Copies of this chain bind each other. A is one copy, B any other.
Amino acid sequence: MTPPALPFNIQKLGYIEYQVTDLERSRDFYVDIIGLFETARDSERVYLRAIEDREHHCIVLKRAPRAGVAHFAFKVESEQDLDALEAHFRKLERPMRWIAAGERRAQGRTLLVQDPLGFPVAFYAKLEPVEWFLQKYHLHRHGCPTRLDHVNVLTPDAQKGYEWYCNGLGFRPAEITEGDPPESRIWASWLFRKSTVHDIAVMTGDGPAVHHAGLSLMEPMGVIRACDALAGAGYADSIERGPARHGISNALFVYVRDPDGNRFELYTGDYLTTDRNAPPVRWRLDDARRQTLWGPPPPRRWFEESMAVSSIETGEEIAKQPALMRAIPTYVS
């Protein structure tokens, strides 16, 4: 399959905005224990970045009455790309609105849309440059994430989600999980714009909902150090799954729930996807190695719980629709 020619260039997943109920507590968790850096804060938000970041934020914590994901955002190459995206979504008659440059701290003009899968997604071309912490090693702590790498979302029809991201937005598949033959519809796909395994994974599940955001680490010991730091600080129960290794993407991972229950993954060990035309790696849903190359089986709640998303028009939480395929593999007890 040749990717369609599209009049815009999405570079990568840019940031995610988590809703948190206690801004101070969450800031301390993400900074002191997880090892992100605080770029800025105000009464409503804390802006965080990771050691590879040369721009203002990759995680935003937003004060809110409940947990969840306010939106996630893709960075595009140019302002023109934003206009092309506006035209693209207008044709699809999706709800959208512009956020003016500077209305969001350090951020250029931003297009916020409710995408065809129901997700609140932002697009922007500019984010203020900031000091690079890559070689400020004396400030690195514990797991010390390098970057926001991907977001993993749940949608009732993951085949449709795959098609939207590939055909609608120009993503390429690195890995694919197929449901039961003979149908073999796509049960999940790992899709990239930048050259890692994914910027977004689209999985079958009750949705629209966000399963987790993935933060990459510099090295495998970072996974161990993150667990140690969590346990030392009294957050051992925040470790939901892992350490273990995924067959998909080869990630050595641990899944963590923040103090509000928002989920993120700390991982390392995936590979470059330099060849955009390479055939995707294919897995069967019920192949246990797919999810767990080694390690304890995933707990059931890892499949059953997810982060709600909201309407960009009303701010109301969007009700999740049930998955069209079986959402839990046979190897989960």
Contacts and interface: CB of A to CB of B under 8 A. Distances in A.
Interface of A: 11-12, 32-33, 52, 54, 75, 77, 134-142, 146-147, 194-196, 218-221, 224-225, 227-233, 236, 239, 241, 243-245, 247, 250, 252, 268-269, 271-272, 274-278, 289, 292-296, 299
A274 B236 contact: no
A142 to B, nearest CB: 7
A295 B239 contact: yes
B52 A231 contact: no
B272 A196 contact: yes
A196 B147 CA distance: 14
A218 to B, nearest CB: 7
Given A220-B224, A228-B245, A135 B233 contact: no
A269 B232 contact: no
Given A194-B274, A272-B196, A232 B32 contact: no
B194 A272 contact: yes
B12 A274 contact: yes
Nearest to A227: B294
With most chain B CB atoms within 10 A of its CB, the pick from A194, A245, A293, A296 is: A296
B252 A224 contact: yes
A135 B195 contact: no
Contact of A294 (B221, B239, B250, B252): B239
B294 A228 contact: yes
A232 B195 contact: no
A166 B247 CA distance: 38
7 contacts: A12-B274, A136-B232, A138-B229, A139-B232, A220-B221, A224-B224, A227-B295
A275 B138 contact: no
A225 B219 CA distance: 12
Nearest to A236: B294
A228 B274 contact: no
A232 B272 contact: no
B272 A195 contact: yes
A65 to B, nearest CB: 29
A289 B236 CA distance: 9
Given A221-B221, A269-B218, A232 B274 contact: no
A204 B278 CA distance: 36
Contacts of A141: 141
With most chain B CB atoms within 10 A of its CB, the pick from A11, A54, A221, A243 is: A243
A239 B292 CA distance: 12
Contacts of A295: 227, 239, 243
A230 to B, nearest CB: 6
Given A239-B294, A294-B230, A278 B137 contact: no
B227 A245 contact: yes
Given A219-B220, A239-B295, A250 B134 contact: yes
A247 B293 CA distance: 26
